[in-house]
Amino acid sequence: MLAIAKITAKGQTTIPQDVRAALKVVPGDLIAWDVAADGTATVRRVQTMDLEYLRAVEGTLSEWNSAADEEAYRGL
């Protein structure tokens, strides 16, 4: 798919509707740009973190958080 968009004087652009649909992005979503050394750029939708899930996982990691663990794994 080829889509062309104009860049404003402020460096802003509108993402064409076909591109938004392909990326499955909606207002408020985040996108990430990856620019290669040859000047080509790719853009992708950034998945937001599920903070509730991450907090639940964090609670299960305490068994590996002791002084003995710090000493055992310090050199890694």
* Per-residue model confidence as pLDDT tens digits over 11-63: 999 999 999 999 999 999 989 999 999 999 999 998 877 777 878 887 787 77
What pLDDT is recorded for position 48?
76
Report d(CA 10, CA 24) in Å as an integer.
25
Tokens of 17: 């509707």
Q: Give me the mean pLDDT over the 4-10 stretch.
A: 96
> Hey, how many other C-beta atoms are within 10 angstroms of the C-beta on 22?
13
Report d(CA 17, CA 26) in Å as an integer.
10
Report d(CA 14, CA 27) in Å as an integer.
12
